[in-house]
Amino acid sequence: MTSTTFHIGKDLRVRRLGFGAMRLPTEPGPAREAALGVARRAVELGVTLIDTAHLYGAGANEELLAEALHPYPEGLLITTKVGVARSGPAGEWKVDGRPAVLRDQVDQALRRLRVQRIELLQLHRVDPETPLADQLGTLGELRAEGKIGRIGLSEVTVAELDQARGFVDVASVQNRYNLLDREHEPVLAACEAAGIAFLPWRPVTWGESGAQAEIAAVAAELGATPTQVALAWLLGRSPVILPIPGTARTDHLEENLAAEGLALGPAHRDRLDRLAAPA
């Protein structure tokens, strides 16, 4: 039977099917009010892992989650990401892992999320212009200072993951991965071998029509939706996978979370496995 929970960093227990907050509108108005309701409904339905980032609205997404959920219920993990900043020549967003930037964004996240410590802090991207030792060394210092509980990475290769583990304990990796896009299969394998949480972003996507038709056929046979099939496939793919599907609609949220109860038999899984060749 597929486990519904995972211990990030070996000690932080979360429900494997989480929620990605990126799509929640943050501008004042009815859409924002609805977004607050979606975040609250996620927690009501038992979500214990919510993903956000400094990049999402320059911290506005973090503020939205705090408004919706603070004071946080026991066991709720809000993980955020740092390392992308408006530091391009014209003030545009760019990967920026300079120590001062990482420290500032962590301090901003602590203030916006209204917490003393971020239990899981992920480096949004590795900055090729800043030595990795400086980037991870800074996060390690922040952990020693008690501002960070665990350190994760995002969009890394196996080589980068190996190198990073030489500097810090890596608790999670957040790479793009789904039923039809398995480019990072080697990274998933490395995470599984090391017991590192693998949070696939863009966990649901659609490819060419033949693949869509096959997924729809499996869904029809199981009385489910294609999205639920895609999420159930991820949950069964590896015990370290923690999908974080995002939505701004309560009905889609409920549909996504119901995928946890969908059982894919060997025949269905075999058909789905063949839709995209592993990397």
What token pair was written down for 201? 């972003």
Contact 40, 46 (CB under 8 A): no
- Tally of residues, the chain: 279
User: Which of 83, 67, 170 has the alpha carbon at shortest distance from 126?
Assistant: 83
Q: Please give the structure tokens belonging to residue 229.
A: 């099939």
Q: Which of 6, 19, 56, 233 is catalytic?
A: 56
- Whether 245 and 20 have beta carbons less than 8 Å apart is answered as yes
Which of these, 196, 149, 133, lies nearest to 170 by C-alpha position?
196
**Region of residue 3 (phi > 0: left; psi between -120 and 50: alpha; otherwise: beta):** beta
User: Is residue 274 within 8 Å of 234, Cβ to Cβ?
Assistant: no
Residue 111 token pair: 């203030």
d(CA 41, CA 271): 34
Specify burial of residue 251 (Cβ count, 10 A radius: 0-12, 13-18, 19+).
exposed
**Residue 56: active-site member:** yes
Q: Phi/psi class of residue 151: alpha, beta or left (left: φ > 0; alpha: ψ in -120 to 50)? A: beta
Nearest partner of 49 among 82, 23, 73, judged by Cα: 73
Give the residue numbers annotated as catalytic, written as ranges.
56
